[in-house]
Amino acid sequence: MLFYQNHPVRFIYLVALIVSITTLSDDVAVITLDDSSGACIDAIVRRDANHNDPLATKAEGITRGITADSTNLYLDKKLLVVGHVVKAKGTFTSFRDIRQVELRRVFLIQDTMEEMEAWNAAAAFKRDILLRPWKVSEEERELIDKRLKKEDSQSKLNKARHALSQKKHARRSEKQRQKEIEEEASRVILEREMNSGALI
């Protein structure tokens, strides 16, 4: 878990210029972003193996190109190219101790005015939220504790139900196996009886 001061950080938002797009494999592409902070960061786009569309990625709105242009990435069917300014949302990951962003959503910034609005929104969020200490009131804490206890109880209940279901399945399987053994024994006895009077 990452923190900004004492705020837990779940998602990262960047307003940045695309400086390169690299396809590493059929499953992974890397968009390098420059947000003017002094360092670029790689944003990872992964293919969504669970999606019906083989071109879909885990980043909402981004798709891969078809076979002839499989190295290309498209945002809402528009080709992403170096020089585009985007607002990106993602989660932090790392590769070989180098921090990266796992992309969840990308929005194309259309003009300078829209870029300024995005920067102003980011500055306001930092000023109004991140720079103020994060505190949880007693009431909020009690509500969170109750929710966690409820989730824990539900998890235990689900595990108990699953264990009971497995036991019932095992008992049914054992009964079925026993029934098959008994049927086979009856068949063997009947076969012997039928063969006892036969000419050999």
> Tens digits of per-residue pLDDT, 127-174?
888 888 878 788 888 898 898 888 888 888 888 888 888 888 888 888
Q: What is the largest CA-CA distance in the chain?
A: 102
Dist CA 129 CA 135 (whole Å)? 11
Residue ranges of the chain whose pLDDT lies below 70: 1, 66-71, 197-200
The two tokens of residue 71 are 């190295």
Dist CA 106 CA 96 (whole Å)? 25
Closest by CA position to 62, among listed 78, 82, 51: 78
CATH topology for 2-130 is: OB fold (Dihydrolipoamide Acetyltransferase, E2P) (2.40.50)
Note whether 33 and 41 are within 8 A (CB): yes
Which string of b and e fits 48-64 if b means at least 16 CB within 10 Å?
beeeeeeebbbbebbbb
Phi, psi angle pair for 97, to nearest 5°: 65, 15
The percent of residues above 70 in pLDDT, for the chain, comes to 94
The pTM for the full model equals: 0.60
- Token look-up 């944003």 returns 43
Domain limits, the chain: 2-130, 136-195
Closest by CA position to 108, among listed 62, 40, 58, 41: 62
pLDDT for res 22: 85
Q: How many CB atoms lie within 10 A of CB 44?
A: 20
Taking the alpha carbons of 159, 164, 170, 172 in that order, is the dihedral positive or negative?
negative
The two tokens of residue 125 are 């969020």
pLDDT for res 198: 58
Q: Which residues pair with 108 in a beta bridge?
A: 86
Note whether 57 and 46 are within 8 A (CB): yes
pLDDT for res 197: 65
Q: What is the radius of gyration, based on Cα positions, of the chain?
A: 30
